[in-house]
Structure 1
Amino acid sequence: MRGLFRKFKEGLKKQTPTFQKAFDSVFSGAKLDQDALEQLEEALYTADFGVETVEEIIDEIKAAYKADKDMRGQDAARIGATVLARVLEGAEGKVELGNHNPEVIALIGVNGSGKTTTSAKLGYLYQNDGRSVLLGACDTFRAAANEQIKSWSERLGIELVASQHGADSAAVAFDSYAAAKSRGRDLVILDTAGRLHTKTNLMKELEKLDRVIKKQDPSAPHHSWLVVDGSLGSNSIEQARVFHKSFPLTGLIITKLDGTSRGGALVGIYRELKLPIYFVGLGEQPDDLQPFSATNYANAIFGISDDL
């Protein structure tokens, strides 16, 4: 637990000082006034937690302060962390693997969300968990994608099926599944091409990949996870909504939380779609892809660590 919390705290360190400063400033005096509350609200809105979540946090802090005028920043931080964890109740995705042979995970999302890197890190995580993994390089549209995923697969020792730039991505997905099946692999992770959720033709190509995979196994892909760039803030909610309509999602991975002060967007996405969050990206190293923990996330955001 301590090690996992440290990953969250280190990854979110660009956010935490902002909140700590706001809380300490708001509650440094004996009286809570409107100006102080506005300063606190601004810090929360800046991180894109959304209106509902901010109001819940502010309302509970105001109620607690009304009952205890000696309240200080750390007390307020604990309230904020508690409310945030409560809002995210049910958000922690618990991955169940082993019901299919092989199991198929498809990673989708817009350009630049970090799908290729995430697919490699995910393969590394499951390989270290004792599962045999095969990566499918289905991003055939981006010129550097094959080189990037090949470099990761060689670095991490993960099997890869790829084709040349411009090949049919659905065909690569088909070949990846067939290879995993014939070689007795446990898991296939498909790195699909980045696509704008507003482009109909690109979304149809994603639907084609889904149809082709189902020719191998009607229940595949067994897991369809949207990879969302956490630095995009509230803009990511619309992405998730559109992708979910065209390619039914089963969960989320939020990346790049280590490089943003707007990591509250994952709260808005969860409140909007109620999709489980399986992993979050907290850095560049292979083990910086971490299972999502609502408690660790909330505590790291608000700088709470002494009880972990």
Structure 2
Amino acid sequence: MQDNDGNTALHLAVRAGSLRLFCPLFGREAVNLNLTNANGQTPVDVSLHKIPPGWSYNQNSEVRIHHALLVAGATSGACRRDHFRQEYDDRHRVKSKQDIKELDRMKDLTQTLCIGSVLIATVTFGATFALPGGNKQDDHPGGGTPTLAGRYPFDAFMVANTLAFIFSSVATVSLMRSGSPMFNLLSRRVYTRVAFYFVDTSVTCLIAAFALAVYAVLEPVAPKTATAVCVMSPLVVICIKAELWMKWAVLAGPFFVRKGPIWTIGTYTKVLVGNMLVGLWPFLLIFLWAAYGRDNLVSVLESPAPPPQPLI
């Protein structure tokens, strides 16, 4: 059914930009994805109208709706593309200093992210000189060295802490460049995307470093508590990805109807594996490198010194 303007319920749901309204309609095969309204626009055209120009978050509901329609094979209407573009520009005021507005948005974003990246760099830098377990006394063999050196959790902690410092430092430098007027808009977008990724990755490494430090200290005296801390710590990483998985989960049923079970299972498997590799690869590097770099420093440092030989 269409209203006086030719809009179907799907047109209106897309215009509202709500996945909650869109998915029940998108998941019914009887709903035609290519009906045009009085302006000759299909739901794909309406969804494109909802996406502002410039750089935006790819998990926004408007972006997910537009992507879902394209994946399902929805097509554009018969409206003239020059008129459509003109209306799009007028709607989003592309010709009224849009670049300046986007630079202002990027400046605000840079300031917000920079606070987080600098805090992570500061915390990890301080943790390097305040190691868990402390250091040995100078009058002991290997004086001044960490007491937990050579143990697997401690080695993994050092790798995780170092990676968190490196990634947060890279993010900070990228944010400094993205907020600098010396670079053009395209370069500043690239630096902002790089900073976003490395801030998320540094948070992942920081969580791993926290869990490993607690485990290294508590495991000899309270193994159950140490294990519980390690199990609960990744909840932070899961919360960061919660919006992504919730929106993919909402679209799973409609995709199952529109594209079939084989396509849906295959695509969701690729998305799941791909996101896990992109987001959790630091864990692989941390634990594999800690295992590879292990040595017997503890036994060497703690072995008793040989008795002095009598002078002849």
Q: TM-score range by the shorter chain?
A: under 0.3
Q: Which has the higher contact order (CA 8 A, sep 6+)?
A: 1
Instruction: Write 1 or 2 for the structure with the bigger share of helix.
Output: 2
> TM-score when scaled to structure 2?
0.21
Instruction: Write 1 or 2 for the structure with the bigger share of strand.
Output: 1
Whose radius of gyration is greater, 1 or 2?
A: 2
